[in-house]
Structure 1
Amino acid sequence: MSFTKENNRITHALLLQPPPGDLTGPYPALPYLKSFAQQDGYKVRVLDLGIEALYFLVKENQIQDLLDRAEAMRRQLEEKRSLDPSEQHHYALLLMAMGLGLKPDLVNRALSLFKDGKKFYDYRLYKESCRFLDAFYRFLSAAHYPTIVTPSEYPTARTLQTMEKVLAHRDRTLNPYIDYYKKILFPKVADEAPSVIGLSMVFASQSVQALVLGSLLKERFPEIHVTMGGAYLSQWVMLMGEQQLSELFTCTDSVVCGEGEKPFSDLLAHIVNNLSLDDLPNLIHRNPKTGEFCRFGELSYTDITKQPPPDFSDLDLSAYLVPKPVIPYCISRGCYWGRCVFCQNRYGDYQVRRYQAVPVEKAIAEISQLAEQYDTNQFNFSNDVIDPAYLKNFSEVVIASGKKFVWNTDLRAEKAFTKDISQLLARAGLNCVAIGFESGCQRVLDAMDKGNRVETTRQVMKNLYDAGVATQAMGIFGFPGETEDDGEMTVRFLKENVDRISYYVTGLLLVLPGSRMHDNPQKYGVTSISYDGNPMMAPEPVWRSDTRMPFGAVNRLYERLSKLEDIYALNEYPYIGALSTNHSFLYFQQGPDILKRIRMEEKKRHIELHRILGMTRNHGVTKKIKSVVPRLALPFIIYRSPFPFEQIQMDPQSPANHPQLFAGDGGDYLINPINIPIRIGESERKLLQRIDSKRNLKSILAKIHGASYENLIYFLMYLIRSGLAKI
């Protein structure tokens, strides 16, 4: 069959978002490509493979297959007389996997809780579900070691270093997603028979999966044109020489760089109508006659004033791990400031991507349409920044229209965000902002060409916070010329402004391709930028500066900053208490101080637990235990390991510092689905046996003879705080 624009009975293109992605909501890029191409008359389908693969992997038969594999691996390691550091790490993961195998359906229960509109906001239940999801990914890591996966991470092309090692992940023993591809995805591809398959590589964590999947698709479906795009790949491919491009093109037939709406639609038109790909915008492809690579000239950019809204209709939004869908919407593109020297998006004086915002009336109409279509009032404006004048106008029109929706966005801390304007934005539905304050030192900000004043940022955060808008503060350590005293000003800024900051995050400076620092390093104090040890030319170079703050100083700053962790409830992505997550957006509707209130409640519960167990605040043990009845909340086993688990180093990356672990010094370990195994003795075993949901703590402890009362109390504290027991 020849594919033509007029033949609507077939799918012209499949657009695939490879794992790992965001399990809490869709990414907007592919739905925008779909809506643009369908505007031109093409039938396009979007699949989010990350969320689909999760539900495939948590099926009972899949978990059992992985449990069997993990058990065989564990037995094989236990036959050894000693374990090297990598084997120790693997063995630790395998022991933890045993706990998940006690009741695998607990994982599905956890997934369901994330979608429960009531239980989701019970932080204790929520936190337990987070731990189950993390435990499941540790389990996947154990069964596919040395591949370490999390809900949002996978080994990158940069860490694997060579295409040979990347493509080794075509093997199901290394890659947990291979069975999903072959059993679920490939039959869909065969059934749809598209002309084009597009793979999106938005993040470094998707690089290996995108390359592996592209390779497998080209092998299985040689008649289909495979193309790749995405923000990360667009950066990466600009650095590639002929060798790297040749390797890349074993996994793809073309690359769409930059904003892909019109370039992808043009590519699709040429493929389905058998036309030459020469001179297409933003496209890199291989000349079929000469084998030479054909590169585009200048990047073209989408006119978002005419761009149709994203189309999420192919995605089951109820599958994502949220009680209500949070829809991403690009209300602007580019940056109206565009001068920050560390920013890899080439704006401002590079004059590549001019700042654009969707006309206010168009934006409100599209947001209203999306809200009705997907039955939600939750939106995340997926953009770099929005100018204050636009937001004022937008908010006034929203309020006048009577529309009610909740939205979140990134902002620059401008003087224009006065107390009155902040209150206006809040009335229009603004829920949360992320502000890159970068540094508490004005000299460092000026060197960055940030264009902000420290005092202005401080006041803007107060104005927004007082209006009920959550504020996320993002900082950077390590800019050339920054001293430890300068960094201390950043730490002090965060500490002194706790009353107006809802969440904070600080990271180390990266000098990335596309930034002014990368293109003119000497001007900004960068001594060298090296891609040595990076044969694939992945866009994460090593940079050096004679005026860079020593690592010891950075570590001291982080140590001082860590004291703030006692104020906020912090978690890893994609959970609440991580930067700009859908879970955080939803929780922030309870107030900009919700993370601080949660942390305060945790501390109160800890103090109450001390009182119940007769412990002082300094962890001293008295005999004033309360007469409460404990119950076991999780399944567990007591397993005799030949190796001393507590001596295992969980980081296998520094074998020179890690000794061999010898068999013979092991013991009995308490293993459950979500906690790290701990060694226990006879008295702890007896205590566990006596917890039966009937006897109170006093009677339980009274019958355990010959044991240290203090040790039993500490063990009870562990059981309750770890979630294994409840009172």
Structure 2
Amino acid sequence: MMRPVQQSVFLVTPPFTQLNTPYPATAYLKGFLNTKDIESHQADLGILVINELFSAKGLESLFTEIEAGGYVLDGNIARIMTLKEDYLHTIDPVIAFLQDRNPTLSYAICTGNYLPEAGRFEQVADLEWAFGTLGIRDKARHLATLYLEDISDLIIATVDPLFGFSRYAERLASSARSFDDLYNALKAPPTFTDRILLRILEEQLALYKPTLMGLSAPFPGNLYSGLRCGQYIKQHHPEIKICLGGGYANTELRSLSDARVFEFLDYVTLDDGEATVLHLIEMLEGKRDIHFLKRTFALDEEGVVQYYNGTIAGDYKQADVGTPDYGDLPLDRYLSVIEVANPMHRLWSDGRWNKLTLAHGCYWGKCTFCDISLDYIKNYEATTAVVLVDRMEQLISETGQHGFHFVDEAAPPALMREVALEILRRKLTITWWTNIRFEKSFTPDLCRLLAASGCIAVSGGLEVASDRLLQLIKKGVTVAQVAKVADSFTEAGIMVHAYLMYGFPTQTEQETIDSLEVVRQLFELNVVQSGFWHQFAMTAHSPVGMNPELFKVKNVLEGVGAFANNDLPHIDETGADHSRYAGGLKKALYNYMHGICFDFPLQDWFDFRVKRPTIAPDYIERSLAEAPEPPLRPSTKIVWTGKPPQLEVNHQKHKGKIVTRAQLVFQQKRSALELNVTPAEGKLIQELLERCHVSNQAMTVGALQDHFMQNHHTDIMPLLEGPTIKDLKEMGLYIL
């Protein structure tokens, strides 16, 4: 009997995701497989294809193929072809610039005489508002991004209509109840981009010689190219087994029944990849029966799609999955681009971020538009702050990058607090950002602490900006609460991005306009700095999708598709004609983000009559003014992050009497600050700050009160609730 071959795993992200940083799925899995001593390698085929295509050699091939193809070229595309020598001359230096290897090129780019310009540059007007007079490198990065998009337009118009930087052939996979369109596209000859992809894939296979290839398809824009890779391996390397997982499979393919999919794959795995991939490896090594795989689709002996979930083993705890491993990935070849002058979109596309999750799943898990029935959202499990910061330090050592993007569904405030404290205890210099829920736990002091630890931005769902609809969504927040929390982040120096939704079931025209008025006020008061509108989509795994009648909408689809099942077209008979409002909402938001047009009537953004807002023009301002201060409870934690203050006591003679004066002197980074106190009060504050220092275990109000009453017979509540506490907060005290 032949001995099963020990598996060598090749984890692949097919084109395309982000240009600036690796998508983390394969790094997560590689980190986990390291803990099991299973050999694995990984590749981001997207960035490898981009680097080959967008090079002098790649463009030379592109222009040659276009010239031989007999394409009918319109004015803009014809212009690019006419300027091909300029593109060939500039492409390698521009790519090097976007990879931070040629920073001085920014001056040449900004002159306006270096880059060839086609249709994308028509949107460029005065960029001073976005980049100022000294933001040369950022302005150049934006212009260089437009330059790449011009070339992308050329590719789409000629050799590859499916091309897109982060959405390759996305339309074929989006809401694809039938596999027909994808199947037909895959049966057609490989496109120009496909040929580059498959050539690079062959090089990678020769390098790593895997026995199992895991394809990660986080988005619809990865599926076509992933299946094209699978098709190639089936034809040229049939000994290699292929599995597909990732976000697309998790949301879209849970009812898969079309056997044709397995002409390109051997397995489709759902939910967390750690257990499913490990079980698959064990099966291939003869250690597990196929019927005891975990959440896996495969063909049976009769060629029928079967779903195997016979194992009783659970998913792995977050503490046991290991640290993401970015080995094998060419971190110096990613491109930092600036597609649009939106501050939050800039974070997504510019800079290299180590991606981590604070917790598995969502701690809230109630929003009715969200896929809360799925494992990766409903099964919440947090990691400890110590483990998380250990992993951060390990990633810094491995990648050399100190920036982190926590990609949680919604980062839990209590864990964010503990992570911030651990970062400060270890004196790490880290920059990080994440997605949150605008809940009241984010007090002004917690926001200041997060900023002190390196937090620079948060994004969160304001959604419909209507209290009635927020309640229907079960968001657990009010508009006033969102405003207060967002203001606390902004005051702490943390940028706030709001996800905005229109078209939620039963949303009326009046509520849509009132939502826009709320958004106008939030931007005018600089409570929110960035935002994005999207239209509500009903998904199969959300409460709305599973019970549409409860939300007064009707699902217009019947039955279950043989391929993907997620987005559900629906009829909202009680709400507005939501699509009419899309253009006006986005146009208004675009101007508000640039700090202009706040005095325009809302009617000006629409080309049809809209209702007047019923929201008071000072609604947000009043909401902020009326927001209550967080209560001081025995469980409230107090943390001091500053240096020990020096107590200076002076005895002066005044009108024949000796007057004792005291000052606490706080040495800050930029200056020394003084606080007038009595000698007794000064000593009390010194001891309080020493006990609450961030290097110690965080002290609660109750524990501090007990200590000072037992040892000094002193009640500290007058101090903690008095005016002095405001001065201490400015010097590094946090009441959490």
Aligned partner of 1:232 in structure 2 is: 248
Tell me which of 438, 456, 461 is aligned to 1:436.
461
Judged with a 3 Å threshold, the aligned counterparts in structure 2 of structure 1 residues 495 and 554 are, in CA distance, closer, same or farther, namely same
Judged with a 3 Å threshold, the aligned counterparts in structure 2 of structure 1 residues 415 and 168 are, in CA distance, closer, same or farther, namely same
Aligned partner of 2:33: which letter? A
Unaligned 5+ residue runs, structure 1? Answer: 79-87, 569-727
SS at match of 1:527: strand
Judged with a 3 Å threshold, the aligned counterparts in structure 2 of structure 1 residues 93 and 542 are, in CA distance, closer, same or farther, namely farther
Judged with a 3 Å threshold, the aligned counterparts in structure 2 of structure 1 residues 159 and 31 are, in CA distance, closer, same or farther, namely closer
Q: Give runs of aligned pairs for residues 612-623 of structure 1, distance below 5 A.
A: none
Deviation at 1:14, TM superposition (A): 0.6
Task: Please state if 1:506 is matched with 2:533.
Answer: yes
Aligned partner of 1:319 in structure 2 is: 333
Aligned partner of 1:77 in structure 2 is: 72
Aligned partner of 2:194: which letter? I
Judged with a 3 Å threshold, the aligned counterparts in structure 2 of structure 1 residues 526 and 239 are, in CA distance, closer, same or farther, namely farther
Judged with a 3 Å threshold, the aligned counterparts in structure 2 of structure 1 residues 303 and 123 are, in CA distance, closer, same or farther, namely same
Task: Please state if 1:304 is matched with 2:299.
Answer: no
Tell me which of 129, 133, 138 is aligned to 2:153.
138
Task: Please state if 1:205 is matched with 2:201.
Answer: no
Aligned partner of 2:264 in structure 1 is: 251
Judged with a 3 Å threshold, the aligned counterparts in structure 2 of structure 1 residues 404 and 529 are, in CA distance, closer, same or farther, namely farther
Q: Give runs of aligned pairs for residues 217-366 of structure 1, distance below 5 A.
A: 217-240=233-256, 242=257, 244=258, 246-273=259-286, 275-288=288-301, 291=304, 293-296=306-309, 300-322=314-336, 325-346=352-373, 353-366=378-391
Judged with a 3 Å threshold, the aligned counterparts in structure 2 of structure 1 residues 149 and 329 are, in CA distance, closer, same or farther, namely same
Deviation at 1:154, TM superposition (A): 3.0
Judged with a 3 Å threshold, the aligned counterparts in structure 2 of structure 1 residues 126 and 146 are, in CA distance, closer, same or farther, namely closer
For residues 570 and 95 of structure 2, what CA distance do their matches in structure 1 show? 41
CA contact (8 A) 1:341 1:515 kept: yes
For residues 139 and 3 of structure 1, what CA distance do their matches in structure 2 show? 52
Q: Give runs of aligned pairs for residues 404-415 of structure 1, distance below 5 A.
A: 404-415=429-440
For residues 108 and 54 of structure 1, what CA distance do their matches in structure 2 show? 12
Show CA shifts across 1:170-205 (max 9, x none).
489763332223322114314433211111111011
Unaligned 5+ residue runs, structure 2? Answer: 107-134, 337-349, 597-736
Deviation at 1:534, TM superposition (A): 7.3
For residues 501 and 298 of structure 2, what CA distance do their matches in structure 1 show? 38
Tell me which of 564, 576, 587 is aligned to 1:549.
576
For residues 593 and 492 of structure 2, what CA distance do their matches in structure 1 show? 25
Aligned partner of 1:690 in structure 2 is: none
For residues 53 and 305 of structure 2, what CA distance do their matches in structure 1 show? 41
CA contact (8 A) 1:341 1:449 kept: yes
For residues 385 and 437 of structure 2, what CA distance do their matches in structure 1 show? 19
For residues 412 and 279 of structure 1, what CA distance do their matches in structure 2 show? 38
For residues 190 and 559 of structure 2, what CA distance do their matches in structure 1 show? 27
Judged with a 3 Å threshold, the aligned counterparts in structure 2 of structure 1 residues 292 and 447 are, in CA distance, closer, same or farther, namely closer
Deviation at 1:93, TM superposition (A): 3.6
Task: Please state if 1:36 is matched with 2:70.
Answer: no
Judged with a 3 Å threshold, the aligned counterparts in structure 2 of structure 1 residues 213 and 343 are, in CA distance, closer, same or farther, namely same
Deviation at 1:76, TM superposition (A): 5.1
Judged with a 3 Å threshold, the aligned counterparts in structure 2 of structure 1 residues 567 and 150 are, in CA distance, closer, same or farther, namely farther
Aligned partner of 2:87 in structure 1 is: 103
Aligned partner of 2:368: which letter? V
RMSD between superposed Cα atoms in Å = 2.9
CA contact (8 A) 2:470 2:476 kept: yes
Judged with a 3 Å threshold, the aligned counterparts in structure 2 of structure 1 residues 313 and 443 are, in CA distance, closer, same or farther, namely same
Task: Please state if 1:114 is matched with 2:95.
Answer: no
For residues 302 and 294 of structure 2, what CA distance do their matches in structure 1 show? 20
Q: Give runs of aligned pairs for residues 179-198 of structure 1, distance below 5 A.
A: 179-198=195-214
For residues 533 and 381 of structure 2, what CA distance do their matches in structure 1 show? 29
SS at match of 1:495: helix
Q: Give the number of the structure whose alpha-carbon radius of gyration is greater.
A: 2
Deviation at 1:206, TM superposition (A): 1.1
- Identify which range, 550-559 or 371-380, moves more after superposition: 550-559
Aligned partner of 1:588 in structure 2 is: none
Task: Please state if 1:446 is matched with 2:471.
Answer: yes
Deviation at 1:276, TM superposition (A): 3.1
SS at match of 1:53: helix
Judged with a 3 Å threshold, the aligned counterparts in structure 2 of structure 1 residues 178 and 504 are, in CA distance, closer, same or farther, namely same
Aligned partner of 2:86: which letter? L
Q: Give runs of aligned pairs for residues 405-554 of structure 1, distance below 5 A.
A: 405-498=430-523, 499-530=526-557, 536-550=563-577, 551-554=579-582
SS at match of 1:278: helix
Show CA shifts across 1:46-100 (max 9, x none).
1000001111212333322211222344x5537xxxxxxxxx6xx7545434434
Task: Please state if 1:176 is matched with 2:176.
Answer: no
Judged with a 3 Å threshold, the aligned counterparts in structure 2 of structure 1 residues 534 and 284 are, in CA distance, closer, same or farther, namely closer
In the superposition, the TM-score normalised over structure 1's length comes to 0.70
CA contact (8 A) 2:356 2:404 kept: yes
Aligned partner of 2:384: which letter? P
Deviation at 1:535, TM superposition (A): 6.9
Show CA shifts across 1:649-706 (max 9, x none).
xxxxxxxxxxxxxxxxxxxxxxxxxxxxxxxxxxxxxxxxxxxxxxxxxxxxxxxxxx
SS at match of 2:297: strand
Deviation at 1:537, TM superposition (A): 3.5
Aligned partner of 2:282: which letter? A
**Relative contact order (C-alpha < 8 Å, sep 6+): which is higher?**
1
SS at match of 1:500: coil
For residues 167 and 396 of structure 1, what CA distance do their matches in structure 2 show? 52
Aligned partner of 1:48 in structure 2 is: 44
Count of equivalent residues:
548
For residues 513 and 275 of structure 1, what CA distance do their matches in structure 2 show? 33
CA contact (8 A) 1:97 1:142 kept: no
For residues 274 and 181 of structure 1, what CA distance do their matches in structure 2 show? 34
Tell me which of 591, 613, 622 is aligned to 1:563.
591
Aligned partner of 1:77: which letter? V
Judged with a 3 Å threshold, the aligned counterparts in structure 2 of structure 1 residues 225 and 319 are, in CA distance, closer, same or farther, namely same
For residues 215 and 376 of structure 2, what CA distance do their matches in structure 1 show? 28
Show CA shifts across 1:602-646 (max 9, x none).
xxxxxxxxxxxxxxxxxxxxxxxxxxxxxxxxxxxxxxxxxxxxx
Aligned partner of 1:572 in structure 2 is: none
Deviation at 1:253, TM superposition (A): 0.6
Task: Please state if 1:391 is matched with 2:416.
Answer: yes
Show CA shifts across 1:342-392 (max 9, x none).
001426xx9973211211111111101111221121010111112212222
For residues 424 and 497 of structure 1, what CA distance do their matches in structure 2 show? 23
- Identify which range, 430-439 or 383-392, moves more after superposition: 383-392
SS at match of 1:513: coil
Aligned partner of 2:513: which letter? E
CA contact (8 A) 2:162 2:168 kept: no
For residues 382 and 99 of structure 1, what CA distance do their matches in structure 2 show? 41
Judged with a 3 Å threshold, the aligned counterparts in structure 2 of structure 1 residues 501 and 187 are, in CA distance, closer, same or farther, namely same
Aligned partner of 1:627 in structure 2 is: none
- Identify which range, 450-459 or 172-181, moves more after superposition: 172-181
Q: Give runs of aligned pairs for residues 156-175 of structure 1, distance below 5 A.
A: 156-158=171-173, 163-170=179-186, 175=191
